[in-house]
A and B are shown apart, each in its own frame.
Chain A
């Protein structure tokens, strides 16, 4: 099978102007993925399904990732040679920049016909609050239907063009997206047998310590 770089070059040749990048996986699995811009994602998906040599006719898995806002520190090193001939002066300049949070949808594609795979696609939303729309790939691979509904349910990604975008696991009246990292679950642990860590903090809210201990303020 072609490598992700070869597929990217092929896609760029076929779709000039499309945003396609390879996201490298540095781990031992080395499953590099293709990051697609949302504008051409649907057309590229159809191409991957039908192109000879690829024929990725089966989408086995759709999943979501939640990336919070994070701060990244870039280190720029400048080396100034010492005119007196001593050791060179090395200055490290650290700059912090904010990587905005976003939601990501990952598709794992296989070819049943040519017996190869996986080719991994990623789609990214612009942010994780109001611009969370990506094109649905259900019209290309029917097996995406329920899994995209699950990503919609648990992560809150809206799939444009999905034939039946409803919640699939939680009830329709539910408002939250439980797999998001900032999800706050309902506080319905009344007691814990062996509290520790976060569970201990919650236990302290629910039942008081012995009389001698200072009274905790009840949290609303």
Chain B
């Protein structure tokens, strides 16, 4: 976590932490901005399958996602920062999911919750289930489980906050909304005669390069 070109005059994060222990609060615009962003991640009020039940449980009093500033489930994608893909994405549903993602304003994040959203899960070999939502939209956090417990979702949210706090506001690693030639427009797959067209977004996802063992 260091600037691309740190100068000797610029305090590093370690310096700031040291000063904070001494009672001197020294911050930067970037840190303040990310601190605010990471503690008010508003998810989209959107559930797909049984993982959504766990997501609801996480938002209720026992697990209380409000402790992390994410209790404001927004009914409109225009107001949401985070989409939690909570459940099986069927091929019939996938274009709508991508459309929702396109309608969310930057900065936006995506959590793939559960085995189905990650890879198709137990339905991977079905003809009608998308084999992972990362074929169409970029996923920031993967939460394994079938379904993941609410604690796992909260942990995933904390990891996302960690990720947001680590983002630099300038340079090539800046979040997309601060980059010049960024696009919010991810191609929405069309319903084809046999499958979705295209079956994946090649700019986002390529199959892993595997070498099969001989004889296997």
Contact = CB atoms under 8 A, between A and B. Distances in A.
Interface string B81-108: 0000000000110000000000000000
Interface string B176-216: 00000000000000011111000110000001111111101
Contact of B92 (A170, A189, A191, A206): A170
Given A174-B194, A186-B195, A206 B207 contact: yes
A176 B194 contact: yes
Contacts of B211: 207-210
B194 A191 contact: no
A208 B86 CA distance: 34
Highest count of chain A CB atoms <10 Å: which of B131, B193, B209, B210: B210
B127 interface: yes
A12 B124 CA distance: 49
B195 A173 contact: no
B10 interface: no
Given A171-B92, A186-B199, A208 B212 contact: yes
A36 interface: no
Contacts of A173: 191-193
A190 interface: yes
Interface in A170-220: 170-176, 178, 183, 185-186, 188-191, 195, 199-200, 203-204, 206-210, 212-213
Contact of A210 (B92, B191, B195, B214): B214
B208 A178 contact: no
A186 B200 CA distance: 13
Given A170-B128, A171-B191, A210 B213 contact: yes
Interface in B111-127: 124-125, 127
A183 B210 CA distance: 28
A171 to B, nearest CB: 4
A151 B127 CA distance: 16
Nearest to B124: A189
Given A171-B92, A172-B191, A173-B192, A178 B127 contact: yes
A98 interface: no
Contact of B127 (A186, A190, A206): A186
18 contacts: A171-B191, A172-B191, A174-B191, A175-B193, A176-B193, A178-B127, A186-B127, A186-B194, A188-B131, A188-B200, A189-B131, A190-B208, A191-B208, A199-B125, A208-B211, A209-B211, A209-B213, A213-B214
Interface of A: 169-176, 178, 183, 185-186, 188-191, 195, 199-200, 203-204, 206-210, 212-213
